[in-house]
Chain A
Amino acid sequence: MKLKWTLLAMIFTVAAVLSGCEPLLVLDPKGPQAKVQADDIMLSIWIMSGIVIVVFAILVFVLVKYRASKQSADYEPPHIEGNMFVEAICIGVPIIIVIFLSVMSVKSNYEVEATPKGYEGQEPLVIYASSSDWKWHFSYPEEGIETVNYVNIPAGRPLEFKLYSYGPITSFWIPQLGGQKYAMGDMVTTLHLAADEPGELMGRNANFSGAGFAENTFDVEAMSQTDFDKWVKEVQDTAKPLTEEKFNELLKPGHLGRSTYTGTHLEFSPAPEHHHDSADSDKVSEGEHHHESSDSGKEADHSHHH
């Protein structure tokens, strides 16, 4: 019995730590997507705790009741093949739990892959977030500005992060706004987020990308729409333009502090959005040709896309 209480105490300690004293980042959501995920996590923790308790209880029961030291020396355990009814329960109940969790999981999948709930009517702010060893570049194409290693966002407005990478696969993650998604060199992925209220948040690359990975973080600041507009205006007025030369310098492997520019690198180094090639981006990639080491393989590949 002592063992059982120890185990129960352990589970409750873990549950207590998970559910509250000091909120863990993932369980302390500041946006609708993170909220969906935190709810899923807590729901599954409770259901799984139930399963764990049932298994632990049966185990403790049989271990206490059927240990050899408690039985007479001549007790001969029976031969039991199995029982259709018992096995049907052991299959049926888990199937019901799995079906329930599957429904929840599918529902959440479609939620996190769409404009956040409650923000559907609004025009999302599109931000291109690209990684290079070991930095993050944030381009605001509509505002015509770009930042390095920090991103300011308006609270109360849906955000669409367009992710890609100038190096190894990375993973864009702001735990309190929502789960992560990969940024890769040959396609653009989209992460739908929103911040409910102003505040400072942690963001990082979560996918191992080499020697500088641990410090591959960025600052996130959610601010009111007015403050955001003010900040954009200020950047447009005061920051230096981002030249191609400057951008190539930024791409070099290493760590950098925060910096801010007018204009975005999308103008001379567009995101790898193969499937949405418009006439515009066509022109840009034509212009891009002479920058690249033009071996024939690359040429062929490019013409293939147009």
Chain B
Amino acid sequence: MDFFNRFAIPHPSFLIYASMVAIGLTGIAVILGITYFKKWGYLWREWLTTVDHKRIGIMYLISALLMLFRGGVDAIMLRAQLAIPDNKFLESQHYNEVFTTHGVVMILFMAMPFIMFFFNFVVPLQIGARDVAFPRLNAISFWLFFMGAMLFNISFVIGGSPDAGWTSYFPLAGNDFSTSVGSNYYMIAIQIAGIGTLMTGINFITTIFKMRAPGMKLMQMPMFTWSALISNLIIVFAFPVLTVLLAMGTMDRLFDTKFFTIGDGGSDMLWANLFWVWGHPEVYILILPAFGLFSEIISTFARRNLYGYKSMVASMVVISAFSFFVWAHHFFTMGQGALANSFFSITTMAIAVPTGVKIFNWLFTLWKGKIEFTTPMLYAMHFLPLFTLGGVTGVMLAMSAADYQYHNTMFLVAHFHNVIIPGVVYAMLAGLTYYWPKMFGFMLNERIGKWTVWLMSTGFILAFIPMYITGLDGQARRMYTYSEATGFAPLNMVAFIGAGIMAISFALLVYNIYYSVRYSPRNIGNDPWNARTLEWATHTPVPEYNFAVMPQVKSTEAFWDAKKHGHEIFKGKIEKIHMPNSSGLPFIMSCIFFVFGFSMIFSIWPLAIISLLGILGCLVYRSFEKDHGHYIPVEEIEDTETKLRGAK
């Protein structure tokens, strides 16, 4: 029995037991459903073993949406707890776990896979490639991410969730102050997902450098591909820091090393520094692809080329470089003195310049355009003013002396939600709506879509603007409750109402998917938005090989040139196409990683050693495996092409 005690929840509550039952029932229902419809074979052949970038992209998307709802439920619980003073809905330990998982889930398991979805689905199509450079590595990336995410998510029903905040500062996250296995989950689940992310970075840099369509120079890549390139470069530079950091944290927690301890030569400040050396570039990893998507969408629906292409690229390069020199602005109050604070204050403000350039370029793209307010465009038009607000409050926070007053308050919480939600989340939802027809062959309903946007922005403003005010009034972040006397109550109630409206808007998004699956017309052609770049030049749905003939590119907008100026994209005749084989190895190895992670979290050493050997075994097997891929014969391609043309 002793052995099993470790899996018990340290602070059980009705909500957690209810979740356990819900998870159990859902799991059983899914397994029974797949068995009943005899879909195990289909699932294995077409999804679990696939190396097709489009399918991997869609799996990232499904994971991201699931995590969005998990993180969203966390958010609603937090706002509900704070809606009234001295509330007894959540006790402090539970509240701490919820805001910790809210942060980790939203950043690492929602926003990250969402941008991975766009990298995967869009980049190869946009550069006219047939897959990514290393398709099998891509599958490993996804499955490692997925297993890391699942491992993290079971924490609240097995052993207890991390409770030291998503920043997990030591010594609070050390064994002295976090006695449950929660912080082990943090260290190990994020590590596993992070390895996958690092591989994605390598994969996409290679893909973008080596696999562009004939004629496409670097300065002719669509803006989203540029943003993906820069973002992946940041991943490759920043994620190794996270890997090392989490490894050190794991050793402190499991093997009693002293990296981050007080005394014994350890330093708690080392964790904070390394965390943000990764953490700040991480926010640019998220926001740059968002900028890329908005660039595509704004240019498409302003019916104009993107204004200032070169300065757009240059500003992203500058942002990526500067993102590594601002990390200490996350702790101006650590006491490093006026000189260090002045350095980081100036570098931080300097980032506002290239970001401002991008805002103005978008505004000038609208200038002399012919603006159509489709749902993706509406997201973009809400993004511009709201993100500007978040950006300028960022400049305010960058003034380090004043930051002594903003730090650790709701003002800061308001700021980063104000850049992440209108910035990243709006971009993800706009991009989702924009690329939905390319993925599934029908559009999402525009009317419901626009309602979603307006509701979301209303909810957003009500939920987060009040926090700027309560922050300046002294409401610290991460407080599970406050007294009536503080006077925070009315604005926190407004914030709760705003969060509720946002929840309704997300429910509307789900309803829109359901509605459109049932009622949307299917004969929409390949280019329903009248777009400008290569991904719209191929068929819908996109065939396995993406392009029957390699496209020829001469400008930043090859497809637009083809439509307007008679540029011929597909020259030459169909030849047999080389494609990679599916493989079950990435999935199997990632499952073993899951077991390895789980046994590390609970210090079950024999199982950890066995699973580690299993992982090594997979790697060895792969090294000796002969797999040269396969060719799709010309007849089969011609058949598919005829069918897809007829389908229009």
Contact = CB atoms under 8 A, between A and B. Distances in A.
B302 A180 contact: no
Interface string B249-282: 0000000001000111111110010000000000
A77 B365 CA distance: 10
Contacts of B400: 105, 108-109
B379 to A, nearest CB: 14
B482 interface: yes
Interface string B369-407: 111110000000100110011001101101111111101
Interface stretch (A55-63, A151-159, A224-232): A55-63
A63 B357 contact: no
A190 B359 CA distance: 40
B580 interface: no
A44 B392 CA distance: 9
Contact of A113 (B262, B337, B477): B337
A7 B385 contact: yes
B363 A105 contact: no
Contacts of A63: 366, 371, 381
Contact of B403 (A163, A179, A182): A179
Interface in A157-191: 163, 167-169, 171, 173, 175, 178-182, 184-187, 189-190
A184 B264 contact: no
Interface residues of B, number: 91
B391 to A, nearest CB: 9
Interface in A217-271: none
Contacts of B204: none
Given A98-B352, A113-B338, A210-B172, A91 B357 contact: yes
Contact of B353 (A80, A94, A204): A94
A18 B472 contact: yes
A211 B163 CA distance: 9
Contacts of A18: 469, 472
Interface stretch (B19-27, B307-315, B544-552, B596-604): B307-315
A105 B364 contact: no
Interface in A63-98: 63, 66-68, 71, 75-82, 86-87, 90-91, 94-95, 98
B505 interface: no
B488 to A, nearest CB: 11
B371 A67 contact: yes
Among the interface residues A36, A44, A133, which one has the most CB atoms of the partner chain B within 10 A? A44
B473 A208 contact: no
A142 interface: no
B461 to A, nearest CB: 8
B474 A51 contact: no
Contacts of A67: 370-373
A105 B401 contact: yes
Given A40-B399, A77-B368, A168-B177, A207 B311 contact: no
A78 B399 contact: no
Contact of A178 (B272, B392, B393, B404): B404
Interface stretch (A19-27, A117-125, A275-283): A19-27
Nearest to A23: B473
Contact of B401 (A111, A175, A185, A209): A111
B93 interface: yes
Contacts of B177: 133, 167-168, 210
B350 interface: yes
Given A98-B352, A108-B401, A182-B335, A44 B396 contact: yes
Contacts of A187: 335
B218 interface: no
B415 to A, nearest CB: 12
Interface string B143-186: 00000000000000000000111000101100001000000000
Given A67-B370, A184-B334, 5 more contacts: A26-B405, A77-B368, A90-B361, A98-B352, A186-B262
Interface of A: 7, 14, 17-18, 24-27, 34, 36-38, 40-41, 44-45, 48, 51-52, 55-56, 58-59, 62-63, 66-68, 71, 75-82, 86-87, 90-91, 94-95, 98, 101-102, 104-106, 108-113, 133, 163, 167-169, 171, 173, 175, 178-182, 184-187, 189-190, 202, 204-214, 297-298, 301
Interface of B: 92-93, 96, 163-165, 169, 171-172, 177, 258, 262-269, 272, 302-305, 307-311, 331, 333-335, 337-338, 341-342, 345-346, 349-350, 352-353, 356-357, 359-361, 363-364, 366-373, 381, 384-385, 388-389, 392-393, 395-396, 398-405, 407-409, 465, 468-469, 472-474, 476-482
